[in-house]
Structure formats: C-alpha cells, structure tokens
Amino acid sequence: MQEPDNSLGYSPSHFWDALPAPLGGVRAIAVGFGLVSLVTIVCTGVATWLPAHGVAMLYVLAVVGGAVAFGMPSGLAAATCSFLAYNFYFLDPRFTFSIANPRDLIALVLFFAVAMTTGSLAGRMREVADEARARARSLQSLNELAIRLSGASNLVGVGESLASEAAQVAEGDTVVLCKRGDNWVTVARSPAAPQLTSADWQAAQRSATSQCVIYPAVPGWPGSVYEFHPMIAQGATLAVLGVHTRVAPDTGTEVTLQAMVRHAAIAMARISLETEKVAIAKEAEAERLRSALLSSVSHDIKTPLASIEGAVTSLRQLGDKMPDETKDDLLLAIEEEAKRLSRFVTNLLDMSRIEAGTPDLLEDWIDLEDATSASVRRARQLMPRANFQFESECAPAIIRANETLLEHVILNIIENAAKFSQPGTPINVVLRRSDDGYVLTVEDRGTGIDGAELPKIFDKFFRGAGSKAGGSGLGLSICKQIMEGLGGQISAVSPITAEGGTRVTLVFPVSIEAAATIGRVA
C-alpha cells in the first residue's frame, strides 16, 4: 500500500508537541501558584543586587511561561499570584499588602495590567497554536484516509480504512456496519472495539433510518455505548460508523469524523457504481455472445443439415438410377457433413463445460509426445491431402492434463493450420523442452494472418474478414481456455516468412511432481 505523505505542514517533531495539554480550574491555579513561588524564591535570594523592575520582569516571564505551556487559565492565575507576591515581598513596607508610596501603587497596577494582558495574549497564542495543530492533524488524517480509499476495491476495504483512521482521530475504538439484504453486519472494526449489544444495534439502525448522528447514552444509564454516524451517498445510507471513546469527542474531532464519513460514503458509492458497471458490461457481453451464438448456430448447423438433407433426398428419389460412384460420393458427403456437425456440437459442449468449470483439466499424468503423435495421426486420417511432419526433441514429456481435452487442443491447432494452407505444403509440428516447460509449435506455409486480426484470433466467434474456410470461430477460443486451465500459454505469430505463414506456440508447465515422474521413467 502507498504510504501517505506528510506534507501538510504538521510534523510530530515540532517542539511544542512536547508541551502538556492546557489546564483548567484548580490545576491551572496550582501551576500558576507554583511558578510564581519558584520566581519568588529565586528573587528573594538575589534581592540584594536585583532591582525592583528586574523582579517584575521575572514575574512577567513566569506569567508568559505558564500561559504558553499550560494555557490561558494558568497564565491568568500566575498573573494574579505575581501581583500579590510582588506587593507582599518586594514593595515597602514588606510582608504586608499595604503600599506606602503612591508611585509604587501606580507601578503595581501597571504591573498587574501588563501581567494580565501578557498572560491573556500568550494563552490565546497557545490556543491558536493548538487549533492550528488540530487542523493540521485533521487534514493529515483526511489525506491518509483519501489515499487508502483510492486503493480500496470493495466495501470491506473502505470499511477497514475508515475504521483504522477514525480510531486514531477519535483516540478510541471504531466499528463499521453495512447492510446485507435485510440485516446489518460488521465489515470492519478496530482490534479493541467492544462487542455490539442489542442496544448498539438498535442505535445503529436508528442512525441509518433517520440519517442523523446518534450519541451514546450517559454513563451509568442503559443504552448504546457507541456514537453512530450514518454514511450517506445519493440520499441513501450505505453504512454506519460507530465510535467508542472514554471521553466525549470535542468539536474539532466531530468535524473531522463527519468529513471522514463523507469521504468513505463517496468511496462506497463509487465502488457500488463500478460493480454495477461491471455487471452491466458482463450482461451486455453475454447478450452479444448469445446473439453471435444464435447467428453461428443458424449458419453452421443449417449448412451441413441442408447438405445431408439434399444427399438423402437424392438417394431416396434417384438411388435406383444412380451409378455406384455417385452413391458413394453422396454417402461420403453425408458422413463428412455429419462429422462437421458433430465437431461443432462438441465445440459448443466443451465451451460450456469449460466456462462452467466442470472439467478437471489436471486429472492425470499424460505423455505430451504420445498425445501429440496421436493427434497428428488423427489429423492425417481426417485430412489425407495435408502434409503433416512431426518431430519430437524430448521423450518422455510428462505433464498433468485431461487427455481428451489435451488431444482436442492439439488436433484443433493442427487442423486449423491445414485448413488455411495449400494441400501438400508442409505443416511442421515440433515438440521441445525449454526453461519455461514443454513447447509445442505448429507452423504452416499459408497466407498468414493480418496484423490487425492477430490479437483477436483467440476471441469467441472470431473469423477473419477474408476467411473462406468454414467453422464457428470457437476452436481457438476453446484452446485458449483449456491452456489457461492447464496453467500454460498459447500464442500466435504471423507472418513468419516473407511469403506469410503462421506459428502457433503452446507452452506446457512442468511441475516438480512431473520432474520426479520423468526421473523414475528414465
């Protein structure tokens, strides 16, 4: 995952991050009193050579230090204590609050005014700095959440990102709930988040229904311990964020949590739209394939049926008058068209089985050399005019495969090469071993494949624009799916010579078990 950058101006290494949190009430007065007491002790020890205005400046320094370090209440408490201590210990008559010289009274009043003003300003500066740091942390948290949401690909990923970042902001525990059907389920939670009770589930449902924040019950009273924030997008509640803290979140934290919830809701809406888009695209593709299938079936089944019907009609009506040679030709035509129809139906069944995931493509150990040799012999029987040449450079070549489907792939590739080649031209089938596994190549000397059509030849129902050969366009697509199921690869290169030609390459992986089997055979 990409690491969030920290370029928003806030760095945890700033010196003021070591300062304690602002104090209030009795603690502020205690800190102010302590600082003034420390200054008083120091000034008493050096009073013989320290002028009166120097003492006043040290008290002002204590006021500023208290306000900056511990907040405005501490600064104001220090200013008040400094006023009293300065009068009691350092103005004549000492050790009494009485003032003998009117000028000292004016100086004391001015000192008190300066101390109070300085304490207020320093305290306010501390508050402004705290607010700025809080905003920086908020922006940084939102930035980190945005980065994580951009990489989320599902609702669970969005929920986990929100739960993690919101827990850090709230300094507590979080849980994210989504609706699945009619029920609400937990999709993400921080590790220490309390288990949801029935009161928590009811509060979450109220938050989702009312689309409002539902706050936790007062401690000691029955009710939910979570604060629930609805995640709303396009008017619908997609999920609910639950926050559990020991101390009620301040206004800044609430604002940050609301912003995080909006970001996560937008991400969930995006993922939902993407899911719908993919579903629509799949449905459109399925509809396109259905249309192509109907078109292909109507042509590829109607044509052989028409030929068979014509031959049968001729034999029935004119059989007695036909010479034996003509009868044999008609019977041969019926046989060839029936085989063509059978291959087409087999292709459709194989495609359906592969897409449904029913065949076990790795069901047995197969010698690839024997399977290739058997496929070449079968091709010679089906296409006696073709010139098939088989060469094997490795024996045995053991792989895991389904024997029937493996021979189907090899025979389909070999037949395809012969179909697009001139009769008598060599079709080279070569089996060899490489670093990638066993490589089977089938080369023909045909016209080749157009460069624009080459990437599409493994698509369903694709047939070249200038193709005069029959077929449904399913053969190579079936071969590709079978090879992928075997963990192998299939590719095509064309042209391979200046005159054309095509090379189809099948790569079969060799597993550790296969290597051991070969060792035992050897």
Token pair of 184, please?
């609400």
CA distances from 14 to 19, 219, 252, 395 (A): 10, 37, 21, 71
For strand 364-367 and strand 387-392, is the pairing parallel, antiparallel, or unpaired?
Answer: unpaired
Same domain, yes or no, for 170 and 262? yes
257-278 pLDDT per residue, tens: 889 899 899 999 998 898 889 8
Token pair of 122, please?
């320093």
pLDDT exceeding 90 applies to what percent of the chain?
Answer: 9
For strand 236-244 and strand 173-180, is the pairing parallel, antiparallel, or unpaired?
Answer: antiparallel
Expressed as residue numbers, the domain containing 324 is 294-355
Burial of residue 110, with CB atoms counted within 10 A of its CB: 0-12 exposed, 13-18 middle, 19 or more buried: exposed
Mean pLDDT throughout 76-94? 82
Look at the alpha carbons of 461, 464, 470, 475 in this order and tell me if their dihedral is positive or negative.
Answer: negative
205-255 pLDDT per residue, tens: 999 999 999 988 877 788 888 999 999 988 889 899 999 987 777 777 888
pTM greater than 0.75? no
Same domain, yes or no, for 341 and 403? no
Ramachandran quadrant class, 461 (left: phi over 0; alpha: psi -120 to 50; beta: rest): left
Residue 3 lies in a domain: no
pLDDT at 429: 92
Same domain, yes or no, for 28 and 120? yes
pLDDT at 11: 40
Same domain, yes or no, for 366 and 513? yes
pLDDT at 300: 60
3-state DSSP percent of the chain in helix, strand and coil, to 5: 55, 15, 30
DSSP class of residue 215? P
Our measurement of the distance from residue 421's CA atom to the centroid of its chain's CA atoms, rounded to an integer in Å, reads 47
Residue 135 lies in a domain: yes
pLDDT at 275: 87
Token pair of 128, please?
């402004």
- Tokens 């029959």 locate to 470
Mean pLDDT throughout 140-161? 86
Reported confidence tier of residue 424, pLDDT bands at 50, 70, 90: confident
Domain boundary among 339, 355, 371: 355
19-67 pLDDT per residue, tens: 444 545 677 778 778 888 888 888 887 767 777 677 888 888 888 877 7
Residue 207 lies in a domain: yes
Token pair of 53, please?
């205005």
Same domain, yes or no, for 234 and 371? no
pLDDT exceeding 70 applies to what percent of the chain?
Answer: 83
Residue 68, pLDDT > 80, answer no
pLDDT at 304: 76
Domain boundary among 276, 309, 337: 276
Q: Mean pLDDT across the chain, nearest whole number? A: 78
Domain boundary among 145, 174, 208: 145
Same domain, yes or no, for 232 and 132? no
**Sheet strand arrangement including 227-233:** 183-189, 173-180, 236-244, 227-233
Same domain, yes or no, for 45 and 99? yes
Residue 502 lies in a domain: yes
Strand partners, 443: 428, 503
Residue 77 lies in a domain: yes
359-377 pLDDT per residue, tens: 555 567 888 888 899 888 8
Token pair of 440, please?
């089977």
Query: How many domains is the chain built from?
Result: 4
Same domain, yes or no, for 385 and 463? yes
pLDDT at 102: 76
Same domain, yes or no, for 452 and 512? yes
Residue 101 lies in a domain: yes
Is residue 368 within 8 Å of residue 517, measured between CB atoms? no
pLDDT at 4: 41
- How far apart CA 133 and CA 278 sit, in angstroms, is 43
DSSP class of residue 320? G
DSSP class of residue 240? E
410: domain CATH number is 3.30.565.10
Residue 281 lies in a domain: no
- Tokens 């012999």 locate to 377
Helix pair 26-45, 52-70: axis angle to 10 deg: 150
pLDDT at 58: 85
- How far apart CA 141 and CA 265 sit, in angstroms, is 16
Same domain, yes or no, for 365 and 350? no
- Angle of CA points 315, 319, 325, to nearest 5°: 90
Burial of residue 358, with CB atoms counted within 10 A of its CB: 0-12 exposed, 13-18 middle, 19 or more buried: exposed
Token pair of 354, please?
């592969």
Which is nearest to 397 in space by CA: 441, 440, 442, 443?
440
Question: 81 Cβ partners below 8 Å, 6+ apart?
Answer: 32, 33, 36, 37
Same domain, yes or no, for 217 and 252? yes
How is 182-208 classified by DSSP, letter by letter? TEEEEEEE-TTPPPP-HHHHHHHHHHH
Is residue 399 within 8 Å of residue 438, measured between CB atoms? yes
pLDDT at 10: 39
- How far apart CA 66 and CA 35 sit, in angstroms, is 7
Reported confidence tier of residue 348, pLDDT bands at 50, 70, 90: low
458-492 pLDDT per residue, tens: 877 666 655 555 555 667 877 887 788 778 889 88
Same domain, yes or no, for 111 and 199? no
Give the residue with greater pLDDT, 164 vs 499: 164
Residue 286 lies in a domain: no
pLDDT at 226: 92
Residue 8, pLDDT > 50, answer no
Residue 387, pLDDT > 70, answer yes
